[in-house]
């Protein structure tokens, strides 16, 4: 029998009913304009779908032309509930959502198990929404894929980059970093802070702080790895909860980025 991590935030961050969830995700993915990008990596927000779903959809919709070749997703996000030293793999071989199971890439998990920054923690994954909310999007946007999820805690930028570089693979491997931007600032202040953060990401400057992005550690690790692989970042969407579904006195920032290989580089 598979050792399954069940959904923890179905019914709160996204619909618990499978038919409603599938319809909602498909509707979100249908909205963004067509793109000719071929992303190797994405940065995607992780709030409830009513707040960040449209922004997340702009990232996943960019996979339309390459979805059939993606066979593995490396998914990193910050820990919100359980402290982690380094980066934690789950003690599971399957994650599930209302849309069904997602098999974990246990071979890839073993391939990084020797790294000192890698730990195993069922507790870190049990109630973590940052990774879970990405799964229904991946299940609808992609075909058949395996998942390697990592809950990122107290880790150095270089530690994250080392893991990503080891797992980099080819066109069959997609990297997804789950991160919101600024938190609970007034609307206009949030816009200014998030615009600056977006410019740092577009410049591949791995100095993002946790005040600027809750997933700053995995974001910075991706930026360092992207520099080494000569990826070009593209800003797909930049909004906040005041633009989507919430009040404007204290908002959360959301952005979607696609990182693509430049011509002439492998």
pLDDT digits (tens, 9 = 90+) for 36-65: 899 999 999 999 999 999 999 999 999 999
**Fold assignment, 27-156+172-253:** Protocatechuate 4,5-dioxygenase; Chain B (3.40.830)
* Domain boundaries defined on the chain: 27-156+172-253
Crossing angle between the packed helical segments 216-228 and 157-167, to the nearest 10 degrees: 60
Q: Are 85 and 126 in contact (CB under 8 A)?
A: no
DSSP state of 126: H
Task: Say which residues have a Cβ less than 8 Å from residue 190's Cβ, sequence separation at least 6.
Answer: 181, 182, 240, 242, 251, 252, 253
Tens of pLDDT, residue by residue over 147-172, are 999 999 999 999 999 999 999 999 99
**Nearest one of 148, 107, 122, 121 to 6, comparing CA atoms:** 122
Q: What is the pTM of this model?
A: 0.97
Residue 83 CB coordination number (10 Å)? 11
């Amino acid at each position: 029998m598979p050792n399954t991590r069940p959904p923890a935030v179905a019914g709160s961050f996204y619909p618990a009913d499978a038919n409603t969830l599938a319809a909602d995700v498909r509707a979100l993915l249908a909205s963004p304009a067509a793109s000719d990008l071929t992303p190797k990596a994405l940065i995607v927000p992780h709030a409830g779908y009513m707040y960040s779903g449209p922004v997340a959809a702009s990232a996943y919709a960019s996979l339309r032309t390459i979805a059939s070749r993606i066979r593995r997703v490396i998914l990193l996000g910050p820990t919100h509930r359980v402290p982690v030293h380094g980066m934690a793999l789950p003690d599971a071989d399957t994650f599930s959502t209302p849309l069904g199971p997602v098999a974990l890439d246990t071979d890839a998990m073993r391939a990084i198990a020797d790294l000192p920054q890698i730990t195993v923690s069922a507790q870190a994954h049990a109630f973590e929404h940052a990774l879970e909310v990405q799964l229904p999007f991946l299940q609808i946007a992609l075909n058949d894929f395996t998942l390697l999820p990592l809950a990122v805690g107290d880790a150095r930028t270089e530690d994250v980059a080392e893991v990503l570089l080891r797992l980099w693979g080819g066109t069959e491997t997609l990297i997804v970093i789950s991160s919101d931007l600024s938190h609970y600032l007034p609307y206009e202040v949030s816009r200014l802070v998030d615009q600056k953060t977006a410019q740092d990401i577009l410049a591949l400057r791995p100095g993002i702080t946790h005040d600027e992005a809750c997933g700053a550690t995995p974001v910075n690790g991706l930026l360092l790895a992207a520099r080494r692989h000569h990826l070009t970042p593209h800003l797909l969407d930049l909004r906040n909860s005041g633009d989507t579904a919430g009040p404007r006195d204290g908002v959360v920032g959301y952005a979607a980025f696609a990182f693509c290989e430049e011509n002439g580089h492998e």
